[in-house]
Structure 1
Amino acid sequence: MTQVLAIGTFNDTEAAALTEAFGCRVLAEVDGLGGLDQAVRDAVTAVAFKGHQGFGAAEMAQLPGLKLLANYGVGYDSIDVAAASAQGITVTNTPDVLNDDVADLAIALWLMQGREMQQAADWVRSGNWAGEGAFGLSRKLSGSKVGVVGLGRIGREIAERLAAFKCEVHYHSRSQKQTPGWAYHADPVALASAVDFLFIALVGGPETEGYVSKEVISALGPRGVIVNISRGSTVDETAMLDALEAGELAGAALDVFVNEPQIDPRFLALPNVVIQPHQGSATHDTRAAMARLQRDNIAAHLAGAALLTPVN
């Protein structure tokens, strides 16, 4: 019996690599566990997991020999880590290898929103440039006052890119960090009050749900723009939409949403909002590196070696 089970939305290349490396079975969803023979479930010691479907205590209990839950992705909010720890299961993730791509997309979203690049492209494609003249003026971004909520690995990469745009960088995190003179704010409301562009780089999960609250959004004000590449849950989405529709927020640039991919249709009617389909790490190179790191953690577990990127 194989010791490894793959569960989730693996593409053909990823599934083939897992099968070749570990001879594992691949299930499309966590719900598929119930369809496996008990002997198969008893043999599993490691799960390669990819997806947003919840993996909690009930699912773990169906795999009595499980010792490793190797997550594909840096975010692991769909996994009940406390339940895993209680059952002696180690969770791993795939940090660092995706930092550059996610930070790059954050900057691209900022530029796209501020310079109205989608609208300008539509102006050309529609024939308006030739028929009606130049597109309207947009907003200067270099030299702006910018804030980053969450100065972890990805947040720091975003901040460093913003510094290269000659921006005045502010940040909020659980503790003050060593930085090249960036301004620290112990409170997210104070951070929002000090900047015009607010980048969200928090981890997902219950602890950060609604962290960018109605009060934070109000403090950002009518010139403010939210850029979110973390999780949709980190922002009070209803408060953000209300502020956008009322002109109390200048705009938003979003790669993540609550209830994605079924996003709130109110977003679609807002010309000052840039939307992307949660593609922060979606490049061939980075996705391959993420899959490789997931497999490396599983290989280390099977060999009895130290895990590369444990979470708990």
Structure 2
Amino acid sequence: MFFFFFAYYWSLIYFSTNNWTICFVLDVYFLYAELEKHIPDLHVLITTPFHPAYVTEERIKKAKNLQLLLTAGIGSDHIDLKAAAAAGLTVAEVTGSNVVSVAEDELMRILILVRNFLPGYHQVINGEWNVAGISHRAYDLEGKTVGTVGAGRIGRLLLQRLKPFNCNLLYHDRIKMDPELENQIGAKFEEDLDAMLPKCDIIVINTPLTEKTRYGHHLMPVLSSANMPVFFCVWLHSLVGNG
């Protein structure tokens, strides 16, 4: 059987074990050329989320022996899921493998946005020092209202990490948290998304990207009526659409 691992490092490696031929494609210059070469022989294709092998309908049709498409992480938007389902392929990912990393990354982005860090950083890099030019758009996170759209594993971890900052924490989700966990985190459930968004100084999108989670039409009224900047922190998501 032929096993193909698609990643982003520095070489191309083949080896065989227990009747498996395993190919690691680890150089960006070889990635797609090697993928096209081996598609007809593949039984398993493993791809990373940050430099994915785009599995299109055309490639699926060429992969007559393919049985499993696996993301070494999470996310499957690089795979044509309808074509994979039609071909009877299993599409899998390592669910939950990066929830801590994503929650911490979101907290970092919130602080960078609210504290107006990047313009200050660029000032220093350019040899400038204009504190007033930065501080008029820099805010304390304490006392701000942070709302997360989606409170699954990542959303809950983010809310837990925000609690020490003394923020007002809101969340919208299809399922309400267990009351004990909700009290522990100090977050308030908002059943109505359109009612929650205008209350927020910071909005975080923590849902998978589907046709039902394109929130542009919910967010545009908030942007147009806000009395102060509204910060959006979005992880691998699209705000534009007609969902």
Who is 2:231 aligned against? 225
CA distances 1:176-197 after superposition (whole Å, capped 9, x unpaired): 2324242222343222122110
Q: Is this contact kept in 2: 1:175–1:186, CA < 8 A?
A: no
CA distances 1:134-182 after superposition (whole Å, capped 9, x unpaired): 6635211123111111212222221211123221211122222324242
- What residue identity is the alignment partner of 1:55? V
Counterpart-to-counterpart distance in 2, 1:11 and 1:228 = 27
TM-score normalised by the chain length of structure 2: 0.76
Greater share of strand? 2
Counterpart-to-counterpart distance in 2, 1:133 and 1:198 = 27
Query: Which one of 180, 196, 199 corresponds to residue 204 of structure 2?
Result: 199
Who is 2:110 aligned against? 110
SS state at 1:95 partner: coil
Who is 2:193 aligned against? 188
Aligned residue pairs total 222
Q: CA RMSD in A?
A: 3.0
Q: Is this contact kept in 1: 2:148–2:203, CA < 8 A?
A: yes
SS state at 2:8 partner: coil
Query: 1:54-73 maps to which residues of 2 (within 5 A)?
Result: 54-73=54-73
SS state at 1:199 partner: strand
Query: Cα 1:133–1:199, aligned 2, differ >3 Å: closer, same or farther?
Result: closer
User: Are 1:236 and 2:235 matched, yes or no?
Assistant: no
SS state at 1:180 partner: helix
User: Are 1:100 and 2:100 matched, yes or no?
Assistant: yes
SS state at 1:92 partner: strand
Q: Is this contact kept in 2: 1:142–1:166, CA < 8 A?
A: yes
CA distances 1:26-76 after superposition (whole Å, capped 9, x unpaired): 36128943x44xxx72x4321112345642443222222222111133111
| Structure 1 unmatched runs, 5+ | 238-312
CA distances 1:286-310 after superposition (whole Å, capped 9, x unpaired): xxxxxxxxxxxxxxxxxxxxxxxxx
Query: 1:273-312 maps to which residues of 2 (within 5 A)?
Result: none
Counterpart-to-counterpart distance in 2, 1:107 and 1:168 = 15
Counterpart-to-counterpart distance in 1, 2:21 and 2:35 = 18
Query: 1:251-270 maps to which residues of 2 (within 5 A)?
Result: none
CA-CA distance at 1:204 after TM superposition = 2.3
Q: Is this contact kept in 2: 1:4–1:47, CA < 8 A?
A: yes
SS state at 1:143 partner: coil
CA distances 1:88-145 after superposition (whole Å, capped 9, x unpaired): 321111232211222111111111111112222334444443xx67663521112311
RCO comparison, higher one (Cα < 8 Å, 6+): 1
